[in-house]
Amino acid sequence: MITDLWYKNAIVYCLSVESFMDSDGDGVGDFRGLMRRLDYLHGLGVTAVWLMPFLKSPGRDDGYDVADYYSVDPRYGTLGDFVEFTHAARQRGMRVLIDLVVNHTSDQHPWFRSARSDPNSPYRDWYVWSKKKPKNANEGMVFPGVQKSTWTYDKAAKAYYFHRFYHFQPDLNTANPDVQAEILRIMGFWLQLGVSGFRMDAVPFVIAEKGPDVAGEPVEHFGMLRSFREFLQWRRGDAIILAEANILPEDDKKYFGEDGDRMHMMFNFQVNQTLFYALASSDTAPLTKALEATRPDYATAQWGIFLRNHDELDLGRLTRKQQQQVFAAFGPDKSMQLYDRGIRRRLAPMLQGDRRRLELAYSLMLTLPGTPVLRYGDEIGMGDDLSLEERHCARTPMQWSNEPQGGFSESPDTFLPVISAGAYGYEQVNVAEQRRDPGSMLNWMERMVRMRQETQEIGWGEFDVVDVGHPSVLALRYVWRNNTVLFLHNFHAEGQVITFPLTPPEGEPNRLVNLLSEDHSEADAKGRHTITLEPYGYRWFRVGGLDYAYRRSER
């Protein structure tokens, strides 16, 4: 049991070591470079750093094709550098989460090389094999349009092996007790080196039954999740798992557990997709429905709230009509789309660099029920490079300054090209210039993050959606320990005037105190508030007296 539930009010920042900062001039980011930028993250208000894969890998899928679970890829440094990094983060009060990619390995992993070379290998049953090509080999591909099958013939093994992802990523037979034990060893190893938890990749595939005879929806073994949780709590009581599981709301409890005894956190894909539909259509009804449908049943469960991540914006849970509306608004060209289900762009170009809409989106990320997860570069409004293949377009190097290569590296040849020229080039969009500009996106984000940390009702409290009579306005109220906060967001390109009644906490004036400006609101004689929201406007209010939070927020 995690007594302080630190993850309920964390600010998570996702980054790739490869993309963040190069310290030795080889064109690739590394841990020593990352350590140089820890004070930047600390100043931004980050409390947990989530690292994308950095383990030894051939690098055919940005490190998700792991070749050794117990070493750092030499391009990024050494295990010693990693330990120095976790120590430096801890000194600044920041926790470290790392990607746990255990659904599959690289085909270059020693386990697979042994398994394919000898049918009597102790690792043979660590993977999933079939003598004949299964009838469902062309179904269930994660990357349709790029991937041709989920079963590939291996000449050395004289059998087909199963791979839910790319052909060079053979699936581990996670039903094998030896594989499960190895997963626990991997977790224990990195916990010992200072991490505070894991973002577990592709959780539904990890626990799904695998094999040539599996047809339809595979059986999921949820007991596996409980064993992961128990191990974490035994080895390090405050460690967590943040699960990547794009599932339907009716399945949420299966992953969180009936009594909160499985995953600590999950990304809320349902809210994410309906949020983008609301941004595209100004219709908040599906978003409201998703919020209600994903309300956790117990206090320890928490959602990860995000806007964009390192993958495509997956729209697979929307109706076809809703999908087309989002595509039309944010990714109308085929070059902007991916896998027949998503958009591969970063947020700033999707919203056409409109500062009003960007602020609206990030205000939502910080105030929706859950823990905000920010992606590197989004705090300065970084763009994308659509000339790069698949998801690489949104994984370009961090833009630190207007120096060559955006201050990321001294090498003219970086692992991916730094975005240059144009509205999102490093010459225009970078940390150094925005740091000096009080009105910049970066400084706005820092102020908003600080206010989110002071508004702990979002992480701890119960929420309800307040009906304000406008379908384009989302009003969320949180109550926790007799504290009440209210957040208003207008998704429409036109301003809205809303009037609604509000009952203040007992003994407090019927007043809305604006947390971001001096624009407060006093109720009329009938106890109603009238608020004018500008196009794409938002408000953060505390209900009650001006110093109300300081009198009642002590835990």
Band (pLDDT 50/70/90 cuts) for residue 546 is low
In the predicted model, what is the mean pLDDT of residues 21-48?
98
Query: Does residue 495 lie within any of the structural domains?
Result: yes
Q: For residue 271, name the pLDDT band (cuts at 50, 70, 90).
A: very high
| Per-residue model confidence (pLDDT) at position 504 | 80
At 145, the pLDDT band (50, 70, 90 cuts) reads: confident
Q: Which of 133, 162, 191 is the last residue of a domain?
A: 162
203 in any annotated domain: no
SS3 341: coil
Active-site residue set: 201, 244
218 close to 209: Cβ distance less than 8 angstroms? yes
Residue 138 resides in a domain: yes
DSSP states along 24-70: SSSSS--HHHHHHTHHHHHHHT--EEEEPP-EE---TTTT-S-SEEE
Residue-wise pLDDT for 468-503, tens only, equals 999 999 999 999 988 999 999 999 999 999 999 988
Nearest-angstrom CA–CA distance, 112 and 110:
6
Instruction: Indicate whether 271 belongs to any domain.
Output: no
Task: Determine the structural domain holding residue 158 and report its residue range.
Answer: 110-162
Question: Higher confidence at residue 460 or residue 137?
Answer: 460
Domain termination residue (choose one: 162, 188, 205) = 162
Looking at residue 554, its pLDDT comes to 45
Asked whether residue 397 is assigned to any structural domain, the reply reads no
CB contact set of 47 (below 8 Å; sequence gap of 6+):
6, 10, 11, 12, 93, 94, 95, 453
Report helix, strand or coil for 73.
coil
Q: Of 521, 481, 474, nearest to 501 (Cα)?
A: 521
The per-residue pLDDT for 509 is 84
Cα–Cα dist 415/409, whole Å? 10
Asked if the structure places residue 9 within a domain, the reply is no
Distances (CA, A) of 353 to 85, 382, 429, 441, 459: 34, 10, 11, 11, 29
Whichever domain contains 512, its CATH number is: 2.60.40.1180
Q: Give the residue among 185, 187, 182 at the shortest CA–CA distance from 199.
A: 187
User: 425 in a domain, yes or no?
Assistant: no
Residue 116's domain is classified under what CATH number? 3.90.400.10
Q: What is the mean pLDDT of the chain?
A: 93
- Terminal CA-CA length for the chain: 18
Average pLDDT over residues 524-532: 92
Mean pLDDT, residues 138-142 = 81
Close Cβ partners of 320 (under 8 Å, ≥ 6 residues apart): none
CB 277 within 8 A of CB 326: yes
Axis-axis angle for helices 269-281, 355-367 (nearest 10)? 150
pLDDT at 187 exceeding the cut of 60: yes
For residue 555, is pLDDT > 80? no
Contact 226, 261 (CB under 8 A): yes
Q: How far apart are CA 212 and CA 152, in angstroms?
A: 12
Q: Residue 300: how many CB atoms within 10 A of its CB?
A: 18
Q: At what angle do helices 285-293 and 269-281 cross, to 10 degrees?
A: 170
Q: In angstroms, rounded to a whole number, what is the distance separating the alpha carbons of residues 37 and 40?
A: 5
Is this prediction's pTM over 0.85?
A: yes
Residue 208 lies in a domain: no
Q: Distance (Å, rounded) from C-alpha 11 to C-alpha 49?
A: 8
Number of domains in the chain: 2
Distance CA 343, CA 350 (A): 9
Q: Which of 3-7, 126-130, 377-381, 450-454 has the lowest mean pLDDT?
A: 3-7
pLDDT for position 2: 62
pLDDT on residue 550: 44
Share of the chain above pLDDT 70, in %: 97
Q: Which of 138-152, 183-197, 323-337, 418-432 has the lowest mean pLDDT?
A: 138-152
In the predicted model, is pLDDT for residue 553 greater than 70?
A: no
Provide mean pLDDT across the span 66-70.
98
* 547 pLDDT tier (thresholds 50, 70, 90): very low
73 and 60 in contact (C-beta within 8 Å)? no
Contact 241, 232 (CB under 8 A): yes
Domain boundary pick from 128, 162, 196: 162
* Helix/strand/coil for 494: coil
Place 298 in a pLDDT band, splitting at 50, 70 and 90.
Answer: confident
